[in-house]
Chains A and B, each alone.
Chain A
Amino acid sequence: MSHPKPQSSFSSTYGHLWFVLPGFAFFLAVMLIPLILAVGISMTNWTGFGNDLQFVGLDNYTELLSYWPFYRAAMHNAIIFLAILLFQHTVGLYLAVLLNEKPRFMQFYRTVLFLPVIMSLVATGFIWTLMLSPNIGLINPLLQTLGLGFLAGNWLSDPDLALPAIIFVTAWNSMGWAIIIYLSGLQNIPEELKQAAAMDGANTRQIFWRVVFPQLSPAFTALTVLTFIGTFRTFDVVYVLTGPLGAPNFATDVVGTLIYRTAFGGSSFSSADIRFAFGLAMALMLMLVMAGFCYLLIRVLRSREIEA
């Protein structure tokens, strides 16, 4: 029998880190190592095909700075972000407030409103493509039946309507998040606080805007950041609804589809324009910009939250 060794000062200080190791190893294997490799590859001219590559330094990044399709795509992401943000903080919040009144069939409404979130966006996106089609879709005939035929349109092929259509489907899909996050925020507000405000003379509107809404700022922050991340990495909705080229004529092209085309190709016949390393540079640039923007967003939004 050996004597138990006295605990070294090292292991008493850092011993607990052992417990992080399995998680860290996994993170290392699936996140950090690929990320480092990606950074390396983004500094080459590798097409994604073969072993023919040269180190080109930051050439891909400098090219990216003046690569206008990237800005066009990023602008579309930004428009989607702002629209979804507006939508979630108005319609989403309003629906959450309604649900918080605990209406009859609340469970039912909540389930229905959250359902799109848990359904596969590829599947639902495909259904939307079919519904929005001017040839076989349900939406235009529906509008006509309702006497709103003048509203019928070529939803996905009219350059003025295609991005709004993408926004609409994204909003439909993501509203459940807004509702759930706001609802949980609302449910954390003690009833007595609203009663106190009522006692203090506030009417319903004043109670909401002066007492309830300020307490939702953590929910506001969370939702804004999640929406930012979600809309800037959007891919599936666009790919399914308007294809890898962001039809019509790139009117719905987002950074996600641009990266996909650049790194993997948008055609099944020719890989002549595939530039994997350049695509990676785009993806990493997007990640960097997003991380920076998220940091700013969180700092600004957190500062107006209540220190509890």
Chain B
Amino acid sequence: MNNTIKTGLLAAVVASSLGVNTALIAEDTVTLSLWHQHPEWRAKTQAILTAFESEHPGIRIELEEIAGTNYSARLNTALAAGEAPDLFGLPAGPETATAAASGYAAELTGLLDTSSLREPALEAIDNDGKVFGAPILGAYSVGLYYHRDILADLGMEPPTNQAEFMSMCAAMKDKGITPLVVPASDGIVPSFIYMMLTSSVMGADGFADLRKGNRKFTDPDMLEAARFLQEMADCMQPGAVSTPYVEGKALAAMKRGAMMPGGSADYPGYQEINPAVDLGVVPFPGVGENKPATVTGLEYIYLVNAESEHQEEAITFLNWMLQDKAQQMVVDTITMTTNRNVVPSENRILEEFVQAARVNDVRVFYELPETGSVWNVVQQNAAALLMGEMTPEDFASAAQDAVKLSD
């Protein structure tokens, strides 16, 4: 044997020993790994999983919570490396489509009992007639949270349009109160605000037009949305552009600001930080005289790893989650559901979100192929707009440039 061969063999041995298979082998019990991106829900999510396990003693779900900022990097790398969990969440729409096209996700068409799903959810999980994911953790709407006690003390009502918002903002600042808490360090919350502002201008129909190219972010009335966002910067807490999400959430929960943009799924987090928190929800104030608006998206939908050895059990789990019983737990403890048979039994905030979303609700940009990239561009430019280093015109045209019209 010559030296080269020996070296090669040794390297191979070393390399293979580094990739030792660490799968747990338990008798009769199938363990499914599941990655989720809301560590703040851990207790509530685990409670639902435990309920599942008690009904299916042969299946164990191993939940791994990964903070939202790291989640996609971790997941993408794991998928590329073939080390992804049996079940993983992804945003419905382009993200799911890409995972499916890449062969990472098993096709679930016809395997899921989607009979109880509301129409918009069915639409959202449909990829040209194929289904790859189940909306097991429901949906969320984003609007404006406010501290009911703070506003009551000030004798104010929540704002419905730009003028009201700005005059409230001035009044609150005079009293030393931070009007709006926005953690803008990663650009996500400002992006949600921009989606709500543009939605207030264009409405759901306008959004459809935008995706067809008949409406533009640079239209004069749409430009006002970017202007309002820039104007709003003065109403935010000091250092908003570098405030991390966790700090912003804590500031909001601890009443260090009167209002904050947020989603229906954020409420458990606020309660976690401050159990005495007294919040109300309204749709986000409209641009100019436009109606206020909310945006709605599905929570990450759950996909089955195409390489999983336990796809059957994974599908069993997803179907169980779609049933009324599990969805009741979701809607009572976490966020809104997409199950038409279930209504929240004890969650006032969700009721208020449902009310808020009745006014003018638009789907989130990133769930749709035409506007997937708009999200990224808005996220990256938000700080520049807020700091005045970018004009509303440039901001809007950058967003418009990111629209990919479908043929």
Q: Which residues of A contact B (CB under 8 A)?
A: 21, 24-26, 28-30, 33, 48-52, 129-130, 133-136, 154-159, 162, 242-245, 247-250, 260, 264-274, 276
Residue in contact with B76 in the complex, picked from A134, A248, A271, A273, CB distance below 8 Å = A271
Whether A270 lies near B372 (C-beta < 8 A) is yes
User: Which residue among B15, B69, B73, B187 has the maximum number of chain A CB atoms within 10 Å of its CB?
Assistant: B73
Q: Which 7 A-B pairs have the closest CB atoms?
A: A50-B102, A264-B73, A157-B239, A157-B242, A156-B242, A248-B241, A134-B238
Interface residue from B71, B76, B184, B375 paired with A49 (Cβ < 8 Å): B76
Q: Contacts of B80 on A, CB cut-off 8 Å? A: 48-49, 276
Q: Within the complex, what minimum Cβ distance (angstroms) separates B2 from chain A?
A: 10
B383 at the binding interface (Cβ < 8 Å): yes
A16 to chain B, nearest CB (A): 13
Whether the pair B186, A25 counts as a contact (CB closer than 8 A) is: no
User: Which has the most chain A C-beta neighbours within 10 Å: B11, B68, B239?
Assistant: B239
Given contact pairs A21-B7, A129-B244, A135-B238, a sample of 17 additional A-B residue pairs in the complex whose CB atoms are under 8 Å apart? A25-B7, A26-B14, A49-B79, A50-B101, A133-B243, A156-B239, A242-B185, A243-B186, A245-B185, A245-B187, A247-B242, A247-B383, A265-B73, A266-B380, A267-B376, A270-B94, A271-B72
Q: Which residues of B contact A25 (CB under 8 A)?
A: 7, 10-11, 14
Shortest distance between the CB of A144 and any CB in chain B (Å): 14
Question: In chain B between 27 and 72, which residues have their CB closer than 8 angstroms to a CB of chain A?
Answer: 37, 68-69, 71-72
Report the Cα distance A270→B95, complex, angstroms: 7
The residue on A at minimum CB distance from B70 is A268
| Bound CA span A267–B379, Å | 8
Partner of B375, one of A156, A269, A274: A269
B76–A157 CB distance below 8 A: no
9 A-B contact pairs sorted by A residue (CB < 8 Å): A28-B14, A50-B103, A51-B103, A157-B243, A244-B186, A248-B383, A269-B364, A270-B373, A272-B376
Contacts of A272 in B (CB 8 A): 94, 366, 372-373, 375-376
- Measured in the bound complex, the distance between the Cα atoms of B379 and A260 in whole Å is 16
Q: Given A245-B383, A268-B37, answer yes or no on A135-B72 (Cβ-Cβ < 8 Å).
A: no
B106 at the interface (CB under 8 A from A): no
- Expressed in whole angstroms, the Cα–Cα distance for A155 and B241 within the complex equals 11
Q: Across the interface, do B241 and A265 meet the contact criterion of CB distance under 8 Å?
A: no
B209 within 8 A of partner (CB) = no
* Cα separation A175 to B58 with both chains bound (whole Å): 55
Contacts of B384 in A (CB 8 A): 249
Contact B186 A267 (CB under 8 A): yes
B contact residues vs A (CB 8 Å cutoff): 7, 10-11, 14-15, 18, 37, 68-69, 71-73, 76-77, 79-80, 91, 94-95, 98-99, 101-104, 184-188, 237-244, 247, 250-251, 256, 364, 366, 372-373, 375-376, 379-380, 383-384, 387, 389-390
Quick one: closest B residue to A158, CB to CB?
B239
Contact partner of B242 (CB less than 8 A), chosen from A21, A243, A266, A276, is A243
- Asked if B91 and A269 sit within 8 Å, CB to CB, the answer is yes
Instruction: Please give the distance in Å from A251's CB to the nearest CB on chain B.
Output: 9
Determine whether the beta carbon of A268 is less than 8 Å from that of B71.
Answer: yes
Binding site of A, secondary structure by majority: helix, strand, loop or mixed? loop
Q: Which residues of B contact A274 (CB under 8 A)?
A: 76
A49 to B97, CA, bound (A): 11
CA distance A96 to B116 in the complex (A): 71
Asked if residues B237 and A135 are in contact (CB atoms below 8 Å), the reply is: yes
Q: Which residues of A contact B364 (CB under 8 A)?
A: 269
Q: B260 → chain A, closest Cβ, in Å? A: 13
Q: A136-B247, A267-B72, A269-B91 are in contact. Are A242 and B242 (CB under 8 A)?
A: yes
A129, A157, A244: the one contacting B240 at CB < 8 Å is: A157
CB atoms of A159 and B387 under 8 A apart: yes
Q: Is B76 in contact with A265, judged by CB distance below 8 angstroms?
A: yes
A249: contacting residue among B186, B251, B373, B383, CB under 8 A: B383
CA distance A28 to B256 in the complex (A): 54
- B98-A50 in contact (CB<8A): yes
The answer to whether A247 touches B73 (Cβ under 8 A) is: no
Contact between chains at A154 and B238 (CB < 8 Å): yes
Contact B242 A162 (CB under 8 A): yes
Contacts of A267 in B (CB 8 A): 72, 186-188, 375-376, 379
Q: Which of B11, B77, B185 contacts A247 (CB 8 A)?
A: B185
Cβ–Cβ < 8 Å partners of A48 in chain B:
76-77, 80
Residue pair B373, A50 in contact (C-beta under 8 Å): no
Candidates B95, B186, B241, B366; contact of A266 at CB < 8 Å: B186
Q: State how many angstroms separate the Cβ of A258 from the closest Cβ of chain B.
A: 11
Tell me the bound Cα distance from A44 to B386 in angstroms.
37
Within the complex, the shortest CB–CB distance from A236 to chain B, in Å, comes to 13
Give the one of A50, A134, A154, A243 with max B CB within 10 A: A243
Nearest to A274 among chain B residues (CB) is B76
Q: Whose C-beta in chain A lies nearest to the C-beta of B73?
A: A264
> How far in angstroms is the closest Cβ of chain B from A23?
11
> Which residues does chain A contribute within 8 Å of B98, judged by CB atoms?
49-50, 271
A154 to B185, Cβ gap below 8 A? no
Q: How long is the Cα–Cα vector from A25 to B13 in the complex, in angstroms? A: 9
Q: A51 to B98, alpha carbons, bound, how many Å?
A: 11
Q: Flag if B366 contacts A270 (CB, 8 Å).
A: yes
CA separation between A159 and B185, bound complex, in Å?
A: 13
Least Cβ–Cβ distance between A59 and chain B, in angstroms: 20
* Chain B residues whose C-beta falls within 8 Å of the C-beta of A158 in the assembled complex: 239
Q: Please state if B69 and A268 are interface contacts (CB–CB under 8 Å).
A: yes
Point out the residue from B69, B187, B188, B241 that lies within 8 Å of A157, measured CB to CB.
B241
Residues of A within 8 A of B375 (CB): 267, 269-270, 272
Residues B11 and A133 in contact, CB atoms below 8 Å apart: no
Is the beta-carbon distance between A29 and B11 smaller than 8 angstroms? yes
Question: Complex Cα distance A93/B37, Å?
Answer: 46
Q: Which residue of A lies closest to B388 (CB)?
A: A249
Query: Is the CB–CB distance between A243 and B244 below 8 Å?
Result: yes
Question: Is A28 a contact of B103 with CB atoms below 8 Å?
Answer: no
A188 CA / B237 CA spacing, docked (Å):
53
Return A256 CB to nearest CB of chain B, in Å. Answer: 13
